[in-house]
Amino acid sequence: MRRRDPSTVDELTPQELQIALLLAGGRTTREAAATLFLSPKTVEYHLRHVYQKLDVHSREALSDALATRDDGDAAAAAMG
């Protein structure tokens, strides 16, 4: 299995990053959808792309991938 560099997080779109941060932070798909005024299916669509870009297969692995990110200020800025 190919592992991607942690800098791959920088390749996420702003929408993908917001969704990834919400879900990695413990929100459910429905909660993230309501927060972002999206349908749960749209959140799942973006989450699939996040998983592919970061080469992860679970929310726990997603959380770990985001935790390796140096730039917490950029992540916070993306949230709001």
In the predicted model, what is the mean pLDDT of the chain?
Answer: 84
At the topology level, CATH places domain 11-79 in: Arc Repressor Mutant, subunit A (1.10.10)
Instruction: Find, among 52, 46, 61, the residue nearest to 14 by Cα.
Output: 46
What's the pLDDT at 73?
A: 44
* Predicted pLDDT of residue 37: 97
Q: What is the pLDDT of residues 11-35, one digit of tens each?
A: 999 999 999 999 999 999 999 999 9
Q: Residue 4 is encoded by which pair of tokens?
A: 């991607």
State residue 68's pLDDT score: 82
- The structure tokens 């993230």 sit at 32
| Distances from the Cα of 12 to the Cα of 27, 57, 74, angstroms | 19, 16, 12
pTM of the predicted model as reported, rounded to 2 decimal places: 0.75
Residue ranges covered by each domain of the chain: 11-79
- CA angle, 28 as apex, 12 and 80 as ends, to 5°? 50
> In angstroms, how far is CA 27 from the centroid of its own chain?
11
